[in-house]
């Protein structure tokens, strides 16, 4: 049966979370910071005690730092092996501290019937617990195969933020580790799709795939270096669609085209297939 489309408007939270410099380092390593960066070890993101270096936080850590998330129970029962990440967006209202306590409130903002699947959208607002200052806002959609068909609104469709038909203005290539998913999952996403071959096979994959948010993190890290001078305080917002799964060990090439407002971007894997598209990036 289709999922509960009356879950639109469901609010979860506020929920609290405390983090410290170790969490920030683990996230940075999980999205390839250090050895895989062609410019060096990115010590400002991967260490807390290097002489002359002040630790900072990669902006895309927002996607794992928010407290809790959407109340999936409100959607009713469904096969988790059929759920894929559709889109992800973040807006940073300030740079993320290396330690603190935050509170997150998440709202289901839309559920759409795509016929063969359901798309569930949500938005989460995160504030610093001690001051109430807005820290970041995240947006996401889940693509749940086999859960459509109830005759509901199909929602927005069609390509957005398409990459221009010309060479990118800027690009950078990173190589993921063969155990990248096993490292990234320590940030909190223990979905067995990314670690268990048996579970991955139930979802139609011959082996565990890389987390979409890990690909997103590699991409955001590349955009930070390409467009923001590696300064997290200049990072504004980043929205993209997950176009194809990535296997751990593949290389990721981030391509960006400058615009008046920021940049359009996409990410390609080893065989030049697009794995992240419809990318829109803004920066200060």
Number of compact structural domains in the chain: 1
Rounded CA separation 141/136 (Å): 17
Q: Give the sign of the dihedral formed by CA 86, CA 103, CA 94, CA 65.
A: negative
pLDDT at 154: 83
Identify the band that residue 76 occupies on the pLDDT scale cut at 50, 70 and 90: confident
**Number of residues in the chain:** 284
Query: Catalytic residues, which ones?
Result: 189, 194
Average pLDDT over residues 64-90: 84
Domain range for 183 is 5-283
The stretch 227-253 carries a mean pLDDT of 96
The pLDDT tens digits of the residues spanning 160-176 come to 788 899 999 999 999 99
How far apart (Å, rounded) are the C-alpha atoms in residues 84 and 243? 11
Q: d(Cα 101, Cα 128) in Å, to the nearest integer?
A: 6
Q: Is the peptide bond before 14 cis (omega within 30 degrees of 0)?
A: yes
pLDDT in tens, 94-152: 999 999 999 999 999 988 988 888 889 999 999 999 999 999 999 999 888 888 778 77
What CATH number does the domain containing 166 carry?
Answer: 3.10.129.10
* 92, 235 contact by CB (below 8 A): yes
Q: Is the pLDDT of residue 185 over 60?
A: yes
d(CA 15, CA 202): 32
Is residue 184 predicted with pLDDT exceeding 90? yes
Sheet of 262-268: strand order equals: 11-19, 100-113, 117-128, 134-145, 83-92, 235-242, 274-283, 262-268, 251-258, 170-175
- Sequence-distant (6+) residues with CB within 8 A of 277 are 162, 163, 240, 241, 243, 266, 267
Question: How much is the pLDDT for 56?
Answer: 97
């Amino acid at each position: 049966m289709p999922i509960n489309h009356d879950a639109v408007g469901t609010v979860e939270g506020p929920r609290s979370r405390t983090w410290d410099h170790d969490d920030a380092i683990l996230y940075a390593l999980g999205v390839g910071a250090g050895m895989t960066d062609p410019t060096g070890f990115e010590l400002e993101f991967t260490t807390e005690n290097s002489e002359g270096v002040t630790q900072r936080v990669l902006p895309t850590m927002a996607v794992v730092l928010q407290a809790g998330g959407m109340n999936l129970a409100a959607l009713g029962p469904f096969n988790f092996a059929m759920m894929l990440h559709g889109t992800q967006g973040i807006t940073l209202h300030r740079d993320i501290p290396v330690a603190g306590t935050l509170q997150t409130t998440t709202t289901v903002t839309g559920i759409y019937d795509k016929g063969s699947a359901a798309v569930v959208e949500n938005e989460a607002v995160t504030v610093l617990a001690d001051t109430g200052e807005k820290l970041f806002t995240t947006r996401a959609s889940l693509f749940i195969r086999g859960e459509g068909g109830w005759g509901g609104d199909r929602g927005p469709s069609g390509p957005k933020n398409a990459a221009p038909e010309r060479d990118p203005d800027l690009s950078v290539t990173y190589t993921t580790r063969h155990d990248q998913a096993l490292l990234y999952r320590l940030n909190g996403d223990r979905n067995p799709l990314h670690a268990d071959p048996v579970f991955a096979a139930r979802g139609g994959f011959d082996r565990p795939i890389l987390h979409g948010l890990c690909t997103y993190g590699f991409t955001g890290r590349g955009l930070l270096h390409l467009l923001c001078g590696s300064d997290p305080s200049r990072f504004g917002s980043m929205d993209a669609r997950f176009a194809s799964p990535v296997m751990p060990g593949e290389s990721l090439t981030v391509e960006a085209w400058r615009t008046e407002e920021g940049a359009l971007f996409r990410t390609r894997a080893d065989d030049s297939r697009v794995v992240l598209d419809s990318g829109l990036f803004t920066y200060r």
